[in-house]
Amino acid sequence: MKKEIHKIGIAGAGTMGSGIATVAALAGLEVLLYDIRGEALDHAASSVTKNLEGAVKRGKISEEDKDRAFHRISFSGDFSKLTGDLIIEAVLEKFELKKELFQKLAAQNSSDCILSSNTSSIPITRIAAVTPHPERVVGMHFFNPPHIMKLVEVISAPQTDPEVARQVKALAERMGKRAVNVKDAPGFIVNRVARPYYLEALKLLEEGVANVEEIDRLMSASGFRMGPFRLMDLIGIDSNHYTSSSMYESFYHEARFRPSRIQEQMVEAGKHGRKSGEGFYKYG
């Protein structure tokens, strides 16, 4: 499989989707950002504008670059428009949801359309296995916030055509990212290494060893750019919890990956972090 990538579709207009749309448009790609929720699309348009304005203020792009990039993005709630040379899935970390989405995408796109997932923990092998033409399925895992963070993991399942992985890596580099090739494994590289950062902090909180502010302050003083609780609020407590749960299942309930009850309760209470206005901290 070898084709030029000019037009991409992004399924999911949340924090990750809008961030990916920003960097793709700045790289000169035509972008369709899809979400079933109208309010999510409105919020995504505001987020993209904010991302681009931030880049102007930092001297990264000009006003003209900002305007051109924004006009390369279209926002739609019409699933039939979700076509292109490459589709990036950025929906919730739930396999059944991704399975249904990939099968629908396969049905309305050509067999050489690359289907990629921004999943942070669900095996690409499992997604490819339920998708027609599995050789074009690949992982393209961005990090939050995508318009700032440089790393992209390009994950190949056993079914993935090596040329597809090569094209996706080249595309990520075109977006100004540092792309690394990764073999399919639960949590890939970064989330497998990072999971103890979150889970051990949550265990300390559960055991009353220290409070949220103290743990964050200590970790920041130790050299981390952000404490674990502020980072969970930024990523989304719900997304972080779903990733932990997925990895726990994938590692056959290995104790070190066991999700936190505190985090589960916060998800159920709707305290999802910055995006909901409250998580471990409150936001105005």
Query: What pLDDT, on a 0 to 100 scale, did the predictor assign at position 197?
Result: 96
Instruction: Give the pTM.
Output: 0.90
Q: Taking all residues of the chain, what is their mean pLDDT, rounded to a whole number?
A: 95
User: Is the pLDDT reported for residue 201 higher than 70?
Assistant: yes
pLDDT at 27: 96
6 is catalytic: no
Amino acid residing at 83: T
Per cent of the chain over pLDDT 70 is 99
Q: Is 120 a catalytic residue?
A: yes
Q: Kindly compute the dihedral angle of the four CA atoms of residues 141, 173, 14, 121, in this order, to the nearest 10 degrees.
A: 0
What pLDDT score was predicted for residue 43?
94
Give me the torsion for CA of 254, 256, 259, 262, rounded to 10°: 150
Q: Does the domain spanning 190-276 belong to CATH 1.10.1040.50?
A: yes
Determine the residue type at 158.
P
The confidence score (pLDDT) of residue 92 equals 87
pLDDT of residue 162: 97
Domain boundaries, the chain: 7-183, 190-276
Q: Point out the least confidently predicted range of 67-71, 127-131, 185-189.
A: 185-189
pLDDT, mean of residues 102-115: 97
Which residue in the list 153, 244, 250, 272 is annotated as catalytic? Answer: 153
Q: Give me the pLDDT at residue 144, please.
A: 86
pLDDT at 93 over 80: yes
Given the residues 141, 147, 241, 272, select the one marked as catalytic. 141
- The single residue of 51, 109, 120, 240 carrying the catalytic annotation is 120
Does the annotation count 239 as an active-site position?
A: no
CATH architecture of 7-183: 3-Layer(aba) Sandwich (3.40)
Average pLDDT, stretch 193-222?
Answer: 97
Q: Strand ranges (DSSP E) for 107-177? A: 114-117, 137-142, 151-156
Catalytic, 272? Answer no
Q: With bands split at pLDDT 50, 70 and 90, how would you rate the model's confidence at 1?
A: low
Q: Which of 191, 246, 250, 260 is catalytic?
A: 191
Model confidence at 284, pLDDT cuts 50, 70, 90, reads: confident
Query: What pLDDT is recorded for position 165?
Result: 97
